[in-house]
């Protein structure tokens, strides 16, 4: 795979993860137990981080956003 193809794959994964996050958010409003709603909120937050990091990793493949180390301290 070329760097651009790898980036595109990471972008596709990020898009899929965001769709999952939206679906979970929609379901959350239907849940009766507050603990369940909090758990779904936590899942949604984690999915947003996954999507963001997929985007950054993809950009790194094409030489962009190299100053963003995703909090890892190393690129």
| pLDDT at residue number 73 | 77
Q: 24: number of CA atoms within 13 Å, CB side? A: 19
| pLDDT at residue number 41 | 97
Alpha carbons 41 and 5: distance in angstroms, whole number = 32
Residue 13 and residue 54 in contact, taking contact as beta carbons nearer than 8 Å: yes
pLDDT in tens, 21-62: 999 999 999 999 999 999 999 999 999 999 999 999 999 999
| pLDDT at residue number 22 | 97
Only one residue has tokens 């030489």, namely 63
| pLDDT at residue number 20 | 98
Residue 66 and residue 60 in contact, taking contact as beta carbons nearer than 8 Å: yes
């Amino acid at each position: 795979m070329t760097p651009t193809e790898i980036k595109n794959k990471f972008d596709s994964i990020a898009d899929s993860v965001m769709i999952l996050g939206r679906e979970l958010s929609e379901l959350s409003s239907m849940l009766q137990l507050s603990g369940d709603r909090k758990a779904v909120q936590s899942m949604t937050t984690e999915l947003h981080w996954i999507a963001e990091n997929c985007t950054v990793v993809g950009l790194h493949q094409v030489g962009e956003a190299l100053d963003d180390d995703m909090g890892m301290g190393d690129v």
